[in-house]
A and B are shown apart, each in its own frame.
Chain A
Amino acid sequence: MNRFDFLRPTGLTEAIAEGGKPGSAYLAGGTNLVDLMKIGVSRPERLVDISRLPGLDRIDWLEDGSVRIGALVRNADLAYDIRFASAFPAVAEALLSGASAQLRNAATLGGNLMQRNRCAYFQDGASACNRRVPGSGCDALHGENRLHAVLGWSENCIATHPSDVCVPLVALDAVVEIEGPQGPREIALDALHRLPGDTPELENALLPGELIVGLRLPAEAKAFAAKARYLKLRERMSYAFAVVSAAAMLTVEDGRIREARLALGAVAAKPWRARAAEASLIGALPDTEAFAGAAALALAEAKPSGANEFKIELARRILVRALTLAMEGTPAVMPALPASPFSTHTGDRHVA
């Protein structure tokens, strides 16, 4: 780990003034940044500890029916907040499917949104990686890439965004609240993460020194509470990043789908909202045929970036499965294995 100056600002203004200086990085729970600093991938000159900034660890229910989650709310606290989890069950399920209980106790919502990708070449200082060293090339393109992107990638970078919680959040039209040297602004979560294009080193829309202070879910997002699921396929049962994941949420009226929200995880450099697939479901009967049609649309533009063609079919199937389970209804209690496709029926055990 490189040497750095460590700052503990007591207020937002001070934090942003320090965070705006070249070489600064914000430190929240540290579960991603400290890891990357240990392996030399992140080398900040100045670490601005935001973990104790006042007022950013609250969940506020606003008068217009929306809810604002402070950027420092810990992943576990959000997932187990009873009011929040009953209004947004797929968000809670996604949170509980991520990392481990220890990590969820430390990780913040802002940090989860801003976590870096998990490409092995990004983490290995001896490999070429356009994200780590712009212009150096991309060793993943002809390397181990079975878990890399199938949507929105470019020859310059094929990494995926690893966050689980971003997937249902982007489906629910979450809005990111930002403070920065130029004052406050807000953007759709859908616009926070950037696709690589010709500038893979630009991972997100934040300007230097900008800090995420919170995230808002609009009042309309609550309409999906009764039929909402997040499903995550992993290479082991728990404590693993997604191979592919999907959030599916429905409202149904007179036996037909009134509104649908769909997003895929671990397929692109951003949580992938599937708007055309959503539109195809409006007014449809909620059956397998409609779900398969939506899944086909969601993956219509997909193409393998390497030895990962299987992810395209897997993503289609996980989307159909998520829609089918959403249609069955949000489980009354959180499944023992949150988001696991292997625990759809209560009473099932993965070991005898």
Chain B
Amino acid sequence: MTLSISLTVNGQPRAIALDDPRVTLLDLLRERLHLSGTKKGCDRGQCGACTVLVDGRRINACLSLAATLDGASVTTIEGLAEGEALHPVQAAFIACDGFQCGYCTPGQIMSAVGLISEGHAGDDAERVRELMSGNLCRCGAYKGITEAVLQAQREMTAETGRDAA
């Protein structure tokens, strides 16, 4: 049974023929669309390494069957930078030392982008930590991660403030 779905992946419309309904969004991205920036840690919703945005919301790609996503728009770590210009969250992770080995980092960054657009953390580090708790970092770079999220959020708010003015 082949299922066809259409997805917009990082702004590109794609028609996808799924020969098997068991394919998760994570495996679709990594194994079939060759977007290996999204990482597989636990494959069970417990680590956050696979975090991507679906229709602007952060979710765990490992628990989402691709077949359920017909018509959705997916953003992965590969879709954040504009040419050579890093997304403010990417830049802040570098500036704040928000990683060591880097394995959890794409998921951390996508989760942070989601967190900032949700807008529930304010400038409270405690709320940032709580709302980033779905992303584990085995290297323990949490301090830098929290700072990066706060710094990126400040920059992005200043940015939109300027646009609005």
Contact = CB atoms under 8 A, between A and B. Distances in A.
A253 B57 CA distance: 44
Contact of A238 (B3, B68, B130): B130
Contact of A105 (B20, B21, B57, B65): B57
Given A27-B65, A35-B63, A6 B45 contact: no
A30 B63 contact: yes
A80 interface: yes
Interface residues of B, number: 37
B149 to A, nearest CB: 12
B118 interface: yes
A265 B105 CA distance: 34
A280 B135 CA distance: 43
Interface in B104-118: 111, 114-115, 118
Interface string B69-98: 010000000000000000000000000000
A338 B126 CA distance: 11
Nearest to A351: B129
B64 A102 contact: no
A103 interface: yes
A336 interface: yes
Interface string B40-79: 0001110010010000011110011101101000000000
Contacts of A39: 44
B134 A47 contact: no
B4 to A, nearest CB: 11
Contacts of B157: none
B75 to A, nearest CB: 14
Given A3-B22, A6-B3, A49 B67 contact: yes
B58 A5 contact: no
A31 B63 contact: yes
A238 B135 CA distance: 11
Interface string A1-16: 1011110100000000
Taking chain A's interface residues, is the majority helix, strand, or loop, or is none over half, making it mixed?
A: loop
A343 B118 CA distance: 23
Contacts of B111: 101-102
A310 interface: no
A100 interface: yes
- With a 10 A CB-CB cut-off, give which of A29, A39, A106 has the most chain B CB atoms: A106
A239 B44 contact: no
B64 to A, nearest CB: 6
Nearest to B18: A6
Nearest to B69: A51
Contact of A337 (B48, B57, B67, B126): B126
A106 B126 CA distance: 23
B112 to A, nearest CB: 11
Interface in A74-104: 76, 80, 99-103
A102 B134 contact: yes
A101 B126 contact: no
Contact of A100 (B48, B68, B70, B125): B48
Interface in A115-151: none
A336 B126 contact: yes
A184 B158 CA distance: 52
Interface string B1-15: 101000000000000
A101 B131 contact: yes
A350 interface: yes
B1 A103 contact: no
Interface of A: 1, 3-6, 8, 27, 29-31, 34-35, 38-39, 47, 49, 51-52, 76, 80, 99-103, 105-106, 237-239, 336-338, 343, 349-351
21 contacts: A1-B22, A5-B21, A6-B65, A6-B67, A8-B68, A30-B68, A35-B44, A47-B65, A76-B57, A100-B48, A101-B131, A101-B134, A102-B111, A103-B60, A103-B63, A106-B60, A238-B130, A337-B126, A338-B130, A343-B126, A349-B126
